[in-house]
Structure 1
Amino acid sequence: MAPLFKNLCSVSLWITIIPLFGFLCDGGKILVVPLEGSHWLNMDILIKALHGKGHSIDVIRNTNSWYVKEKSDYYNSITIPQSKGMDEEFVDDMISKVINHERGKSSWLSTVKLFFDSVIDNYEMTKMVCDITTSIFESEEILKTLQEKQYDLMLTDPVWGMGIILAHKLKLPMVYNVRWTTTVDGHFNIAPSPMSYIPITGSGNTDRMSFFQRVKNIIFYFTNDIKYSRFSLPQYQAICDKYFDPPVDFYQLLQGADIWLMRVDFVFEFPRPTMPNIIYTGGFQCTPAKPLPHDLEDFMQSSGDHGVIVMSLGTFISALPEDVTAEIAAAFARLPQKVIWRYTGKKPSTLGNNTLLVDWMPQKDLLGHPKTKVFVAHGGTNGVQEALYHGVPVVGIPFFFDQYDNLIRLQARGGAKIVSLAELGENSLHAAIKEVINNPSYRLTMQKLSQLHLDKPVKPLDSAIFWIEFVMRHKGAAHLRTESYKMPWYSYHSVDVAVTLIAVVLIFIFSIFYVVRYVCIKCCSRKRKTE
């Protein structure tokens, strides 16, 4: 009996394992519509991980893409002919406008001008995306190729609406690699977002607002709404109206993604209401530090007990005006620390012997090095998350988009010091760096945040891959999606219920009033007749 029982157990075990083995190793087909710059850097990490799991990935790119390469070992590119997207020249122009405003004589007039410049830039970016989308829809060959591929999933960054529209055309379940959408912080599109304690992007507020800060929050909400609902969404809606029958609402398509892989967590983000299909994957691009190249390691060790300052302004900001770089270099030259500065512009005349300029740096490995004391950064989501992961305090120099808001979150927790462009100078930058280095609370705070961030049952990248594959296995995740986005605003906010209840109460009150009035009139009438 024992051998028979043993054989039966073996057979049972294999019957269990074989389907599981096939279940785990079945590769799917994924279509990716990414965004340029730092957004591509973290999307690229997701793509590599998915490729490593046996999935086939196609990536759509435009002809002048400067980050999404045409040839790759782990994805196939689909280049849309005669399509031009956001390039370095476009970004440099946006940056120069912000710098000129911040470092010039700011007034209400210049602020209004900057706002309208941002509206125009946003309109132009959206137009570029819509042109690429139109090129796809007008090409029978491209559409036929995409349809014949029979993809299992659309993975996209919803800052651009092309992936959203294309997913609807190809009838694909959709996963977002998201922090921002075509309109605002992704939470605002699907999760309840009380503006009394949830700061609007660009407001500079934290989750603890005074009365006037709440007024400012409301103002920023409506200015953002004007910027996007009047200038971006209509362009996407025009494509939907032209190519889809029956007609669809673009904003509902945006809200209808199955899973939102949110690139933050609540160690970094202020606590707020959320939804079951928002999965927090903040820091999924972070990894333990690897050994540095010999030349960089020698430079780090040469710093002695003073340590090293690492500076990088991200993927979009490669060079700055000469007067700004001269101020930054002069501030570094006064420090006893060594400095590694990722910078590709003209060498500043005030550059000190303690500063090393590099075209590229292994940022994650430098931040994880024990000699690194401070990270001087622009405040992009990736860089802030990497500093948090490695427990390195930050001196932030925000430029645009979400950078100031990211740094505000770290500063509110005591892990960063912000130096605005308006006040950026040799003395202010030098003082900020000295404060962060000499006050141990900054490093202790960041190390505590790092411990909280790392103390998770599942690594963020593993969680992201699981949910992508979950959507592929189940052809979506409709059970996690709220249907609230399909409700008209007056139903969502129960305005119709409130109006109905108020009407009923008023009718009841007026009915009582008229009954009492009628009775009083009758009584008075009888009394007169009796007299």
Structure 2
Amino acid sequence: MTTGLPVPLPRLATGLLLLLSVQPWAESGKVLVLPTDGSHWLSMREVVRELHARGHQVVVLTLEVNTHIKEEDFFTLTTFAVAWTQDEFNRLVLGHTQLFFETGHFLKRFSRSVEILKNMSLVVQRSCVGLLHNETLIRHLNATSFDLVLTDPVYLCGAVLAKYLSIPAVFFLRYIPCDLDFKGTQCPNPYSYVPKFLTTNSDHMTFLQRVKNMLYPLALSYICHTVSAPYASLASELFQREVSVVDILSHASVWLFRGDFVMDYPRPIMPNMVFIGGVNCANRKPLSQEFEAYINASGEHGVVIFSLGSMVSEIPEKKAMEIADALGKIPQTVLWRYTGTRPSNLANNTILVKWLPQNDLLGHPKTRAFITHSGSHGIYEGICNGVPMVMMPLFGDQMDNAKRMETKGAGITLNVLEMTSEDLENALKAVINDKSYKENIMRLSSLHKDRPVEPLDLAVFWVEFVMRHKGAPHLRPAAHRAAGLGNGFLSVEGRMPLSTPVLEPAYPFMT
């Protein structure tokens, strides 16, 4: 008989988790996916690919008019009709991206931003109404007997559908504006050290920053209500009872967040919240001959990778020329993903390309810096590959992402509207020549990679977990049943003697 030393429980648990994460589930499951279009789809797509590789049947349900979600061989694509054309949708998206470079009074730009956001929200809300009132499609989805709905709750329609079909749901997201991710999970959300959306605060705030942290959500509440309230009304109509947005979100069995505490600040979490990190880093491929030639020709100085994401196709001429001027003053070769008009002052060291394999290029040892709009995909690719960044955030969470990386000493943030050619030149020279930026990003890279389970495997593990157990009610806090009372408050009937001390909730001003 063979004997051995006893295995410590923590190591055994880790080993079992690793085994489950790499072994296909014994039974093939049926997964219905409702993604959010745009860059959000790019990470979810990797999870869908891996689910297919493990033998699951995956159906992706989306609008027939979209920008990124196209038919592929690892899922079945089902689309539903919408009341607009691809050209109309493209014009709406273009109007949104043009705002990134508009100058003028803040209130005027803010007002136009709100108007465009409302128009875009109205478009997707109407599509959801059309989907949920499509009796033929709903009957088909019911008959298919899906085991799970995987959805990004930024597009709330997927969450409504999962609740309507009574199917367990897994949410896959970066986060939801207006603190809806905190509310939907009943997670504590202290103003004193958890920075709010768009504040660009860190977790170490001054008194005034804490005041800002409290006021920003109040200022955004109107926009949040405009975007989310129609889904609550639709759900109330379907269920024939009052349903709130929090009710819709609380249906999720597990929340998979495309982030971790290497990038984000430490904060409270609930048992059904899993921070998986960057799922899009691992899939690195060899470079094509074209890009390999660009890098080889760069000599000892190496290359700089420049991309402002898939939504930005063109930059105003004056700003493009300022950028081109700065790029021409560094010794590195610059690979700039840009489809707009070629700047007349473009230097010989700058190569314009319509597309570039961003993660593959960032992984090359001769890549010296990354100019990025600070989307979460790009930030994590920079972290995974250990490349210091110059960040030009344009909208949404990009400002907060940039602040996090700057706070950690891994890059420099520039205001794309206000920066000069000299500002960009100096920022590039700093992150390339000051060794601290490289050291800091390498430290973050090491922390992100030092994990028992890879991000993609962890995401798929939890999807399969919910399918195996038909939900995860044991991870659901009792706070959901007492949501109407508010977190941290007691519901007590009776009289309290005047002499009894009253404990007040901690306000954001308290240290």
- Normalising to structure 2: TM-score of the pair? 0.89
CA distance in 2 between counterparts of 1:199 and 1:115 reads: 21
CA distance in 2 between counterparts of 1:432 and 1:474 reads: 51
Instruction: Name the aligned partner's letter for residue 242 of structure 1.
Output: E
CA distance in 1 between counterparts of 2:356 and 2:182 reads: 33
Say which of 490, 493, 496 aligns to 1:504. 496
Matched with 1:93 is 95
* Structure 2 residue 390 is the aligned partner of structure 1 residue 395: yes
Say which of 264, 275, 279 aligns to 2:259. 264
Instruction: Name the aligned partner's letter for residue 385 of structure 2.
Output: H
Identify if the C-alpha distance between structure 1 residues 406 and 185 changes in structure 2 by more than 3 Å, giving closer, same or farther: farther
CA distance in 1 between counterparts of 2:354 and 2:257 reads: 30
CA distance in 2 between counterparts of 1:401 and 1:87 reads: 20
CA distance in 1 between counterparts of 2:490 and 2:320 reads: 54
Aligned ranges 1:68-87 → 2 under 5 Å: 68-69=69-70, 71-84=71-84, 87=89
Identify if the C-alpha distance between structure 1 residues 318 and 384 changes in structure 2 by more than 3 Å, giving closer, same or farther: same
Identify if the C-alpha distance between structure 1 residues 182 and 122 changes in structure 2 by more than 3 Å, giving closer, same or farther: farther
Matched with 1:11 is none
Aligned ranges 1:41-440 → 2 under 5 Å: 41-69=42-70, 71-84=71-84, 87-101=89-103, 104=104, 110-181=105-176, 183-184=178-179, 186-187=181-182, 189-190=184-185, 191-229=187-225, 231-287=226-282, 289-440=284-435
Identify if the C-alpha distance between structure 1 residues 143 and 508 changes in structure 2 by more than 3 Å, giving closer, same or farther: closer
- Asked whether the equivalents of residues 154 and 172 of structure 1 are also in contact (C-alpha less than 8 Å), the reply is yes
Matched with 1:8 is none
- Mean CA deviation greater in 445-454 or 476-485: 476-485
Say which of 458, 465, 468 aligns to 1:470. 465
Instruction: Name the aligned partner's letter for residue 441 of structure 1.
Output: S
1:268-316 residue CA offsets vs partner (Å, 9 max, x unmatched): 1101111111111111111164321112111101111111000011121
Instruction: Name the aligned partner's letter for residue 75 of structure 1.
Output: F
CA distance in 1 between counterparts of 2:89 and 2:478 reads: 37
1:382-432 residue CA offsets vs partner (Å, 9 max, x unmatched): 000110011100100010000010011110010010011232221111111
CA RMSD of aligned residues (A): 2.2
CA distance in 1 between counterparts of 2:29 and 2:384 reads: 31
CA distance in 1 between counterparts of 2:26 and 2:344 reads: 57
CA distance in 2 between counterparts of 1:494 and 1:306 reads: 60
Identify if the C-alpha distance between structure 1 residues 264 and 222 changes in structure 2 by more than 3 Å, giving closer, same or farther: same
SS at 1:259's partner residue? Answer: strand
Matched with 1:3 is none
Identify if the C-alpha distance between structure 1 residues 202 and 210 changes in structure 2 by more than 3 Å, giving closer, same or farther: same
1:172-213 residue CA offsets vs partner (Å, 9 max, x unmatched): 100011112264473454221111111111111111110011
1:466-507 residue CA offsets vs partner (Å, 9 max, x unmatched): 10000001110111112323424544331645xx68x51228
- Asked whether the equivalents of residues 184 and 247 of structure 2 are also in contact (C-alpha less than 8 Å), the reply is no
Instruction: Name the aligned partner's letter for residue 64 of structure 1.
Output: V
CA distance in 1 between counterparts of 2:397 and 2:151 reads: 19
State the 1:125 CA deviation. 2.7
Identify if the C-alpha distance between structure 1 residues 365 and 350 changes in structure 2 by more than 3 Å, giving closer, same or farther: same
CA distance in 2 between counterparts of 1:447 and 1:356 reads: 27
SS at 1:24's partner residue? Answer: coil
CA distance in 2 between counterparts of 1:208 and 1:22 reads: 42
* Structure 2 residue 30 is the aligned partner of structure 1 residue 29: yes
- Count the aligned residue pairs: 478
CA distance in 1 between counterparts of 2:183 and 2:118 reads: 21
SS at 1:165's partner residue? Answer: helix
- Which has the higher Rg, Structure 1 or Structure 2? 1
In structure 1, runs of 5+ residues without a counterpart are 1-19, 105-109, 510-531
Aligned ranges 1:4-15 → 2 under 5 Å: none
CA distance in 1 between counterparts of 2:485 and 2:169 reads: 28
- Asked whether the equivalents of residues 411 and 417 of structure 1 are also in contact (C-alpha less than 8 Å), the reply is yes
Aligned ranges 1:442-461 → 2 under 5 Å: 442-461=437-456
Matched with 1:40 is 41
State the 1:22 CA deviation. 11
- Asked whether the equivalents of residues 182 and 232 of structure 1 are also in contact (C-alpha less than 8 Å), the reply is no
CA distance in 1 between counterparts of 2:35 and 2:485 reads: 35
Instruction: Name the aligned partner's letter for residue 52 of structure 1.
Output: A
Instruction: Name the aligned partner's letter for residue 204 of structure 1.
Output: T
SS at 2:300's partner residue? Answer: coil
- Mean CA deviation greater in 346-355 or 57-66: 57-66
State the 1:87 CA deviation. 3.8
- Asked whether the equivalents of residues 129 and 161 of structure 1 are also in contact (C-alpha less than 8 Å), the reply is no
Instruction: Name the aligned partner's letter for residue 221 of structure 2.
Output: D
In structure 2, runs of 5+ residues without a counterpart are 1-19, 502-511
- Mean CA deviation greater in 152-161 or 246-255: 246-255
Identify if the C-alpha distance between structure 1 residues 242 and 183 changes in structure 2 by more than 3 Å, giving closer, same or farther: same
- Asked whether the equivalents of residues 130 and 239 of structure 1 are also in contact (C-alpha less than 8 Å), the reply is no
- Asked whether the equivalents of residues 377 and 395 of structure 1 are also in contact (C-alpha less than 8 Å), the reply is yes
Identify if the C-alpha distance between structure 1 residues 362 and 98 changes in structure 2 by more than 3 Å, giving closer, same or farther: closer
- Asked whether the equivalents of residues 160 and 182 of structure 1 are also in contact (C-alpha less than 8 Å), the reply is no
- Mean CA deviation greater in 163-172 or 481-490: 481-490
- Asked whether the equivalents of residues 256 and 481 of structure 1 are also in contact (C-alpha less than 8 Å), the reply is no
- Normalising to structure 1: TM-score of the pair? 0.86
Overall identity of the aligned pairs, in %: 37
SS at 1:349's partner residue? Answer: coil
Identify if the C-alpha distance between structure 1 residues 371 and 185 changes in structure 2 by more than 3 Å, giving closer, same or farther: farther
1:488-528 residue CA offsets vs partner (Å, 9 max, x unmatched): 4544331645xx68x5122889xxxxxxxxxxxxxxxxxxx
CA distance in 1 between counterparts of 2:332 and 2:23 reads: 55
Matched with 1:526 is none
1:123-159 residue CA offsets vs partner (Å, 9 max, x unmatched): 3233222211111222221111111111110000010
